[in-house]
Structure 1
Amino acid sequence: MKRFFPLVFILTSVMQAQTLKSPNGKITVTFSAKEQLTYEVRFENKVVVDVSRLGFKLKDIGDFSSGFRVVGESRSSENTTWQPVLGEVSNIVNSYNEVIFNLLRDSDKRQLNIHFRAFDEGIAFRYEFPKQSNLNYFVVSEELTAFQLTEDYKAFWIPADFDSQEYVYNETPISKIDVDNLNLNNGIGMKSIATRYGVQSPLMLKSTTGLYVNIFEAAVVNYPVMHLAVDPKSYLFSALLAPNPLGEKAYLQAPYNTPWRTVMISKDARDIVGSKMILNLNEPSKIKETSWIKPMKYVGVWWEMHVGKSTWDYAGSQNAQNTGKELIASGKHGATTQNVKRYIDFAATHGFDGVLVEGWNTGWEDWFGNWKEDVFDFVTPYPDFDIKEITEYAKSKNVKMIMHHETSGSVANYERRLDRAFAFMKKYGYGAVKTGYVGRIIPRGEFHDGQTMLNHFNWVAERAAEQKIMVNSHESTRPTGYHRTYPNYIAAEAARGNEFNAWSSGNPPMHETILPFTRLLGGPMDYTPGIFEIKMSAFDPAKKEQVHTTLAKQLALYVTLYSPLQMAADLPENYERHLDAFQFIKDVAADWQDTKYLEAEPGDYLTVARKDKLSERWFLGAITDENARKTEISLDFLTPGVKYKATVYEDGKAAHWEKNPKSYAIKTIQVTSKSKLQLHLAEGGGAAVSIVPIP
């Protein structure tokens, strides 16, 4: 419930130090309007964020960060529980103290509110522009929000690129952040790096004394996502926003609330990775009836294109670009009626919910890199893809089809055709869509991370909700908890996914141990795990690329990387050669009633246990970086007095992510809540465990 403090306290506190404490009293945020708007954050009375600037530069107004005085404040607290439609837990506790400072600038009579919330795991604040006579429409030229850290934290960072998050993470002190020192030949098709000294948020940090800090944001609506400019010498981070073609950051109208800026702080990394603060800062679901929003496990015509077995386009290798000639089948097209039926059969045999098909529609011969307006129409199949026959076949097998809409970055074209594309989906029974935004954005001059595109990604989810369609976006802005408000926004990519292992330098073994502390704080990720044929030389002897994990770690990722949308990404024939290991992918749930983060260290390791929402089954995943690891896991989260069968899928004795990645072993043991599980993780390895009550 929300509780408001008495008015007498509110009035007297205006004259005193303006501080706010977390419910457990460990975190304190102090606000000041003296001369300039600033704040400071302490953890256990130690300064974590030193006095830092707040405010804006507004077009035609200029400075909007000084000259204000506090003319009122209101304080309240909340301790409630709510239930997500899909999630890591069935119930989420939302507990915080809050204060809203009402500010007035005497020089021009303009108003601004600053809203702080203090949770046990961190603080959040946002700017609120109330409705007022002399500030209606306005333009943000620059946001001045800063985060002044006090020491040279170890940082887990990727460059501030306004068009892509698909980078390998760097692990350096703040003082060593420098994009010029990176090898950026990493498989990314396009780059829009904002500055030499810039990083993306969420930014994960660790002090030499073991304090974990994370800088992020929540509930980004009608605003660019926040990157961070950094001064490596002073450890100062400042808000860095993608501009529009005119160089402005955001066009707004009062009343308007900005996204929340967040700082998480803890001595235990598990508190960061397990936090629900970002979700709690978003608005409740705007979809009243949500029974159609369901978790999905799927297979699809996708990985075979990445490994070179087939192509997205009908003609093959984009060999009909701009010719205007009739397309001639190359014989390598993946999205054929016969091939799709094979995937449907596989899904039906092994109990998967859906099948994704990429490359089903015309346009792939002339799409990549041309910055072309009208590439796809989203309703015209290639001649060898009989959508009616496939729909009927899938229905007969009780398998759902997942639509694919690659926009080629031509967002204007997609928006013009969206209603017709969704109607086409509904006609053929598609209840979910994977969207893609590869390439430079049209309208030209817009960035993926700017206000226009952020609005587009949110709008597609809203429009899809009207048609009861679930959305999985790729190459989008990274999520900030908006899936609480629109839970049909079931997943997103927005980071360097598993596909990069097929045709680039790949993702190093530590990559998956960092994602839960960064990208996944904002929402579930469609990482596409489950690759069993690790080395790409199996498809082409000349290829040197490979997945940088063991096979057992690929199983563990289904637990450690949360998503209610999980793909068994490899080819059916590769699973058929390892049906014993494939059993874990078939068994593992995708929606949870409880989650326990048992061990966590960014860049090193992560161990997670999750309880299936629909049963008493538990699943455990443990992963490590390039270093082998032995660990003992207490199973005290199990129900006392109940016996369980634990099936352990682990690295073989000689397993190694590079030298021997497919070596694994499976064993079955009986356990109880008093048991301890001994796990050995190979270099780049992992372990996956299913724990089922014994009747």
Structure 2
Amino acid sequence: MLLLLSLFCIAGNAQQYMLLSPDKKLSVEIESSRQGVTVKMMKEADLLLSLSDIGIVTDQTTGALLQIKKAERSAVNEIVKPVIREKSEAYRNEYNELALTFRSGQTLTFRLFNEGLAYRFSTAFKDSLTIFRETLDIQFREGDSIRFQSEKSFNSAYEQPYEFKKLSELDPDKLCNLPVLIEKQSGKFLMITEADLYHYPGLWVKSSGGSQITATHPRYPKTLKKTNNPYSTGQVGETHDYIARVAGKRSYPWRIFAVADREEGLISNNMVYLLASPTELKDVSWIRPGVVMFDWWAKNNIFGVDFKAGVNTETAKYFIDFCAEKGFRYFLFDDGWSPKSDLLHTVPGLNMPEVTAYAKTKGVDVMLWVIWNTLKEQWDEAFDQFERWGIKGIKMDFMNRDDQQMVEFYEAVAGKAAEKKMVVDFHGAYKPCGLSRKYPNVLTREALIEFEQSGVSDNDNPRHHNLLPYIRMFTGAMDYIPATMRNANKNNFRHCWDYPMGWGTRAHSMALFIILSSPMTMLPDSPSDYNRENECTGFLTKIPVEWDETKLLAGKIGQYTVLARRSGTVWHIGAITNDDQRTIELSTDFLKPGRYNIEIIEDGINAATAATDYKLSRRQISAGEILKLAMAPGGGWLARITPENK
């Protein structure tokens, strides 16, 4: 017998509750009846969404209807200071909470922020639970639209292009991984995602007809595929008829429904981080964000040296020397440093102890790329070997799943890496859900179309760049790999896997370094390329990867973005446009009164046809002065602003 934890009431009359946001602009109506729990979220008189069929189907057999035992209200208003300053030095955590506890042993907790609604289940059963499914229907108005990534199955690298459709036109056979962005006819935005995901599968959604979407999850794996391809080994074969096996007493992931009147609200929202579990690490002093040089393509594109470039000791030292000279924190050995099925030995010609010892003398940390399944098979031996070698971080790849087993493996990797004082970058990964708050050594992850795709498709284009800040970046840091010096425009962009070029001008490519959040920012080109473009490289070396403040100064999803970030007293601004030429007049009234030095890289006069053309200029401005940002098609603009007396 299955028990649907949909929170039915024993009384015939519905029980109703109202919850207001701290600023009283958002309101939530919660009703519990024999038909289940329903929720309506309003902004003033505007109905934003309705939630129904909220429940969890388990194997518990109490045989009793579920009655509300008590309703508890609370309010929180505090400042949270993140360990890693991905966006800001501090976040305001302010919400009103309503916790409904049922006689059957489960609680449904609602938190209403000024920026949106979140809810989560908690259970208090003595015995473990088998969860067959979690239920949730989300209803919008007819004519509302959705931006999403879709798959035919739960096996996903999370690297599909964003689609944009009316909700009523969404294919019911498509699975949409989170986050998904709803665009209301009124112009408001609703972001749907999750936080605090542990020991549970990731949430997906799919169409259930009309303007309604419904929750779905990958089932618990029964068998995993074994192939001759190390990149695909370990994907799910057969599954059980349930999604999770969990402890009876626990809390479940937060379901987030964030609200923004304009694009600015998508950039400033911090609900994913604030709803995540605080860090369990007592010592975080060793965690160091920074810029990464890596050898994936770059090892094949080295010139002007007297050694044969490749995966070898000489090439590694060349990268390390460059990192030391430019002040970059990390050098990463990407795919190829070891046999695919063996992380304990290097390929011929590479002396890892010699490389790491050399890097230590230069103040550079070395990271290693790993296939997740090989790491799992050689777990203790691999981490111990990395520790002996002096490795300071790992980039784990090709997981391509977010079932319960894989979600648990992410946390195991984060914890084991923290034990060894190693930072982590997840590739082939699902979206961030707050793991980086619990384990701040998780500095970044993929879950997006990034620069790598430029070698094989047209999907990494200026329009895509103007979607990322408003959709994917909402959930957390993303390893996009910005700032290539190989730039092309729409007419001459070509695919070249071993030596990729970026679609967009030089200024556009460099501005992405500022716009796209990542406390671990990887640069794609070889030291030879960056040495050849020393003026631009010098500008990049001055851009931090941690920030005290972030502001969207202007932006329209899919069209243009102007983002400002502050580190100390220094402001950095990045601006990009899609394939339309664009001029923006930008006020600097966000600056404190006074005089400032400004250093600008902008599109050169011929950037529309020669994408590498740029212009560097320096001058003084006063706070409040209007700056004219003239951008070519696929163009960009970036600036560094320092107080005059600094």
- TM above 0.5, yes or no, is yes
Answer yes or no: is 1:522 the counterpart of 2:486: no
SS of alignment partner, residue 502 of structure 2? coil
SS of alignment partner, residue 587 of structure 1? coil
Q: 1:340 to 1:535 in 2, by over 3 A?
A: farther
1:341 and 1:228 map into 2 onto residues whose CA distance is 47
Correspondent of 1:281 among 266, 275, 278: 275
Answer yes or no: is 1:638 the counterpart of 2:591: yes
The 8 Å contact of residues 138 and 252 in structure 1, kept in 2 or not, is answered as yes
The residue number in structure 1 matching 2:94 is: 95
The residue number in structure 2 matching 1:448 is: 401
The residue number in structure 1 matching 2:138 is: 147
The residue number in structure 1 matching 2:225 is: none
The residue number in structure 1 matching 2:241 is: 247
Correspondent of 1:334 among 310, 323, 339: 310
C-alpha deviations, 1:257-307, integer Å up to 9, x for none? 1100011112122112210111110111111111111111121212237xx
Q: In structure 2, what residue type is equivalent to 1:216?
A: T
Using the TM superposition, name which of 50-59 and 280-289 deviates more.
Answer: 50-59
Q: 1:380 to 1:167 in 2, by over 3 A?
A: same
Shift of 1:544: 11
Q: 1:112 to 1:465 in 2, by over 3 A?
A: same
The residue number in structure 2 matching 1:427 is: 388
Answer yes or no: is 1:43 the counterpart of 2:39: no
Query: What are the residue-to-residue correspondences of 1:602-641 with 2, within 5 Å?
Result: 602-612=557-567, 615-641=568-594
Answer yes or no: is 1:164 the counterpart of 2:163: no
Q: In structure 1, what residue type is equivalent to 2:289?
A: P
The 8 Å contact of residues 125 and 249 in structure 2, kept in 1 or not, is answered as yes
SS of alignment partner, residue 215 of structure 2? strand
Answer yes or no: is 1:57 the counterpart of 2:34: no
Shift of 1:690: 0.8
The 8 Å contact of residues 455 and 500 in structure 2, kept in 1 or not, is answered as yes
C-alpha deviations, 1:417-460, integer Å up to 9, x for none? 2222222222222211111126xxxxxxxx61111001101111
The 8 Å contact of residues 16 and 32 in structure 2, kept in 1 or not, is answered as no
Answer yes or no: is 1:73 the counterpart of 2:56: no
Answer yes or no: is 1:34 the counterpart of 2:33: yes
The 8 Å contact of residues 283 and 484 in structure 1, kept in 2 or not, is answered as yes
The 8 Å contact of residues 553 and 623 in structure 1, kept in 2 or not, is answered as yes
Q: 1:338 to 1:210 in 2, by over 3 A?
A: same
The residue number in structure 1 matching 2:179 is: 202
Answer yes or no: is 1:292 the counterpart of 2:286: yes
SS of alignment partner, residue 584 of structure 1? helix
Shift of 1:517: 2.2
Structure 2: any 5+ residue segments left out of the alignment?
A: 1-12, 221-238
C-alpha deviations, 1:93-148, integer Å up to 9, x for none? 100000100123xxxxx33210000000100001111235xxx2221211111211
C-alpha deviations, 1:229-277, integer Å up to 9, x for none? 113x421111111112213211112112110001111212211221011
The residue number in structure 2 matching 1:327 is: none
Using the TM superposition, name which of 169-178 and 283-292 deviates more.
Answer: 169-178
Q: In structure 1, what residue type is equivalent to 2:184?
A: S
SS of alignment partner, residue 158 of structure 1? strand
Correspondent of 2:615 among 662, 665, 684: 665
The residue number in structure 2 matching 1:184 is: none
The residue number in structure 1 matching 2:236 is: none
Indicate the RMSD between aligned Cα atoms, in angstroms: 2.5
1:295 and 1:593 map into 2 onto residues whose CA distance is 14
1:59 and 1:510 map into 2 onto residues whose CA distance is 47
2:493 and 2:555 map into 1 onto residues whose CA distance is 34
Q: In structure 2, what residue type is equivalent to 1:265?
A: V
The 8 Å contact of residues 81 and 92 in structure 1, kept in 2 or not, is answered as yes
Structure 1: any 5+ residue segments left out of the alignment?
A: 1-13, 105-109, 179-194, 311-330, 365-374, 439-446
The residue number in structure 1 matching 2:643 is: 693
Q: 1:538 to 1:265 in 2, by over 3 A?
A: closer
Shift of 1:616: 1.7
2:49 and 2:281 map into 1 onto residues whose CA distance is 38
Q: Aligned pair count?
A: 605
Q: In structure 2, what residue type is equivalent to 1:619?
A: H
2:241 and 2:309 map into 1 onto residues whose CA distance is 42
SS of alignment partner, residue 159 of structure 1? strand
Answer yes or no: is 1:354 the counterpart of 2:330: yes
The 8 Å contact of residues 454 and 477 in structure 1, kept in 2 or not, is answered as no
1:202 and 1:639 map into 2 onto residues whose CA distance is 36
1:570 and 1:279 map into 2 onto residues whose CA distance is 32
The residue number in structure 2 matching 1:477 is: 430
1:70 and 1:539 map into 2 onto residues whose CA distance is 62
Correspondent of 2:449 among 478, 490, 496: 496
The residue number in structure 1 matching 2:351 is: 386
Q: In structure 2, what residue type is equivalent to 1:28?
A: S
The 8 Å contact of residues 492 and 525 in structure 1, kept in 2 or not, is answered as yes
Q: In structure 2, what residue type is equivalent to 1:430?
A: I
The 8 Å contact of residues 80 and 91 in structure 2, kept in 1 or not, is answered as yes
Q: In structure 2, what residue type is equivalent to 1:19?
A: M
C-alpha deviations, 1:594-627, integer Å up to 9, x for none? 1112123222222111111xx4211111122222
1:222 and 1:17 map into 2 onto residues whose CA distance is 32
C-alpha deviations, 1:385-434, integer Å up to 9, x for none? 01122122212222211122223xx2xx4224222222222222221111
Query: What are the residue-to-residue correspondences of 1:387-402 with 2, within 5 Å?
Result: 387-402=352-367
Query: What are the residue-to-residue correspondences of 1:169-208 with 2, within 5 Å?
Result: 169-178=162-171, 196-208=173-185
Q: In structure 1, what residue type is equivalent to 2:191?
A: N
The residue number in structure 1 matching 2:411 is: 458
Q: 1:520 to 1:34 in 2, by over 3 A?
A: same
The residue number in structure 1 matching 2:511 is: 556
Q: 1:600 to 1:673 in 2, by over 3 A?
A: same
2:364 and 2:496 map into 1 onto residues whose CA distance is 35
Shift of 1:545: 7.0
The residue number in structure 2 matching 1:82 is: 80
The 8 Å contact of residues 82 and 91 in structure 1, kept in 2 or not, is answered as yes
The 8 Å contact of residues 535 and 544 in structure 1, kept in 2 or not, is answered as no
The residue number in structure 2 matching 1:304 is: 298
The 8 Å contact of residues 589 and 623 in structure 2, kept in 1 or not, is answered as yes
Using the TM superposition, name which of 455-464 and 499-508 deviates more.
Answer: 499-508
Shift of 1:16: 6.0
The residue number in structure 2 matching 1:192 is: none
1:529 and 1:84 map into 2 onto residues whose CA distance is 24
Using the TM superposition, name which of 414-423 and 277-286 deviates more.
Answer: 414-423
The residue number in structure 1 matching 2:9 is: none
1:18 and 1:265 map into 2 onto residues whose CA distance is 21
The 8 Å contact of residues 222 and 455 in structure 1, kept in 2 or not, is answered as yes
The 8 Å contact of residues 505 and 607 in structure 2, kept in 1 or not, is answered as yes
SS of alignment partner, residue 389 of structure 1? helix
The 8 Å contact of residues 165 and 495 in structure 1, kept in 2 or not, is answered as yes
SS of alignment partner, residue 344 of structure 2? coil
SS of alignment partner, residue 512 of structure 2? helix
The residue number in structure 2 matching 1:345 is: 321
SS of alignment partner, residue 31 of structure 1? strand
C-alpha deviations, 1:20-70, integer Å up to 9, x for none? 1110111111222201122111111321112522002224759x9x94322
Answer yes or no: is 1:650 the counterpart of 2:602: yes
The 8 Å contact of residues 360 and 385 in structure 1, kept in 2 or not, is answered as no
Percent identity among equivalent residues? Answer: 27
The 8 Å contact of residues 96 and 120 in structure 1, kept in 2 or not, is answered as yes
Correspondent of 1:119 among 102, 113, 121: 113
The residue number in structure 1 matching 2:223 is: none
Shift of 1:532: 1.1
SS of alignment partner, residue 503 of structure 2? coil
The 8 Å contact of residues 26 and 45 in structure 1, kept in 2 or not, is answered as no
